[in-house]
């Protein structure tokens, strides 16, 4: 695809600045999530869902190796820190693994990692998503391993997960700390926050993320939070111990010319 070729040919800094420092990327600093939401153009959810259904079906049927956010890729974009964590937790549980994938789309991360997990004695991948995604998931993507749920409560009634995975989702929620409290109450042994971005101040910064049409076929914008590292780690340390952290993606992105990288960490519930 032409835009991928251009991305590879352009110097990385020039490419990132083009996308994330001018028309697109993270802009502004707002007092509340609601204030930012009022200034967003939003996006056509039905259009995005249809695009993701189409690309995920191609992965499921073996027509393409990988998709993310409705974009097809020529090769699987592996997330090795995540895969390492999945295999580690399975090894601690007699080669069995049950994961809650919060905001897991129609199974992007499941398909990404399944070739390396299919040997397990038991694999259950529980995706919690928005209602239309759950409906589409139940109709077209559920199988012996993958199940879709509307809420954490519904999922916990049928499963005993070892890992709660939140990948590039928490920063888009209007009440992220409420979700962390809900996760803690489940007593799931491990929590993994992946593809997070932070600022080094005492308070979260709320921005608007302007997304280029290359992702969804249309322009979109929505509130996005840059967490205070101090604030979120203090919150997690109330109940968890950090096992390790890592860089999720080594590419640099920019919020109004200030660089950042996506990060991740595995947290273990304190016994």
The fold adopted by the segment(s) 30-269 is Rossmann fold (3.40.50)
User: Mean pLDDT, to the nearest integer, of 239-260?
Assistant: 88
DSSP 213-245: HHHHSS-EEEEEEEEEHHHHHHHHTTTEEEEEE
Q: What pLDDT score does 105 carry?
A: 95
User: Mean pLDDT, to the nearest integer, of 126-143?
Assistant: 97
Q: What pLDDT score does 6 carry?
A: 33
Query: pLDDT-derived band of residue 249, with 50, 70 and 90 as boundaries?
Result: confident
Q: What pLDDT score does 42 carry?
A: 66
Q: What pLDDT score does 13 carry?
A: 37
DSSP 157-213: HH---SEEEEES-GGG-S-HHHHHHHHHHHT-SEEEEEEE-EESSSS-EEEEEEEPH
Query: pLDDT-derived band of residue 44, with 50, 70 and 90 as boundaries?
Result: low
pLDDT at 74 over 70: yes
pLDDT at 11 over 60: no
Paired tokens of 184: 């803690």
Per-residue three-class SS string for 92-119: CCCCEEEEEEECCCCCHHHHHHHHHCCC
Expressed in angstroms, the distance from the first to the final Cα of the chain is 50
pLDDT at 267 over 60: yes
User: Mean pLDDT, to the nearest integer, of 141-169?
Assistant: 98
Q: What pLDDT score does 200 carry?
A: 82
Hey, is 19 helix, strand or coil? Answer: helix
Q: Classify burial at 210, counting beta carbons within 10 Å of its beta carbon; exposed 0-12, middle 13-18, buried 19 or more.
A: buried
pLDDT at 69 over 50: yes
Q: If you search the block for the tokens 């398909």, which residue do you land on? A: 111
pLDDT at 173 over 60: yes
% of the chain at pLDDT higher than 70:
91
Q: What pLDDT score does 15 carry?
A: 42
DSSP 50-79: HHHHHHHHHHHTTSSSEEETTEEESS----
pLDDT at 1 over 70: no
pLDDT at 263 over 50: yes
Paired tokens of 193: 């926050």
At CA 48, angle to CA 46 and CA 51, rounded to 5?
110
- The strand pair at 96-102 and 122-128 is best described as parallel
Average pLDDT, the chain: 89
Q: What pLDDT score does 39 carry?
A: 92
Of 34-38, 44-48, 78-82, 117-121, give the lowest mean pLDDT range. 44-48
Q: What pLDDT score does 258 carry?
A: 80
Q: Where are the domains of the chain?
A: 30-269
Q: What pLDDT score does 24 carry?
A: 86
Q: Are 97 and 124 in contact (CB under 8 A)?
A: yes
Residues contacting 28, CB < 8 A, separation 6+: 36, 39, 207, 208
The 10s digit of each residue's pLDDT in 83-113 is: 999 999 999 999 999 999 999 999 999 999 9
Q: What pLDDT score does 193 carry?
A: 98
Using alpha carbons, select from 38, 45, 67, 65 the residue that is nearest to residue 54. 67
Q: What pLDDT score does 41 carry?
A: 77
């Amino acid at each position: 695809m032409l835009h991928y070729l251009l991305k590879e040919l352009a110097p990385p800094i020039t490419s990132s600045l083009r996308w994330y420092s001018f028309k697109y990327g993270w802009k502004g600093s707002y007092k509340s999530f609601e204030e930012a939401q009022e200034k967003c153009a939003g996006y056509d959810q039905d259009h995005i869902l249809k695009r993701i259904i189409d690309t995920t079906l191609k992965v499921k049927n073996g027509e393409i190796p990988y998709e993310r956010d409705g974009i097809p890729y020529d090769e699987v974009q592996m997330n090795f820190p995540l895969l390492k964590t999945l295999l580690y937790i399975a090894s601690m549980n007699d080669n069995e693994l049950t994961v809650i994938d919060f905001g897991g789309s129609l199974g992007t991360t499941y398909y990404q990692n399944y070739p390396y997990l299919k040997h397990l004695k038991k694999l259950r991948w529980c995706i919690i998503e928005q209602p239309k995604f759950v409906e589409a998931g139940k109709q077209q993507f559920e199988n012996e391993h993958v199940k879709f749920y509307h809420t954490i409560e519904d999922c916990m009634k049928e499963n005993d997960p070892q890992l709660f995975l939140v990948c590039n989702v928490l920063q888009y929620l209007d009440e992220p700390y409420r979700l962390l409290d809900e996760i803690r109450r489940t007593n799931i042994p491990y929590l993994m926050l992946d593809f997070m971005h932070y600022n080094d101040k005492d308070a979260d910064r709320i921005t608007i993320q302007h997304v280029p049409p290359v992702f969804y076929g249309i322009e979109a914008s929505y509130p996005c939070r840059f967490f205070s590292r101090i604030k979120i780690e203090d919150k997690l340390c109330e109940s968890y111990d950090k096992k390790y952290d890592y860089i999720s993606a080594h590419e640099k992105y920019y919020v109004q010319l200030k660089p950042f990288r996506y990060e991740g960490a595995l947290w273990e519930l304190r016994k």
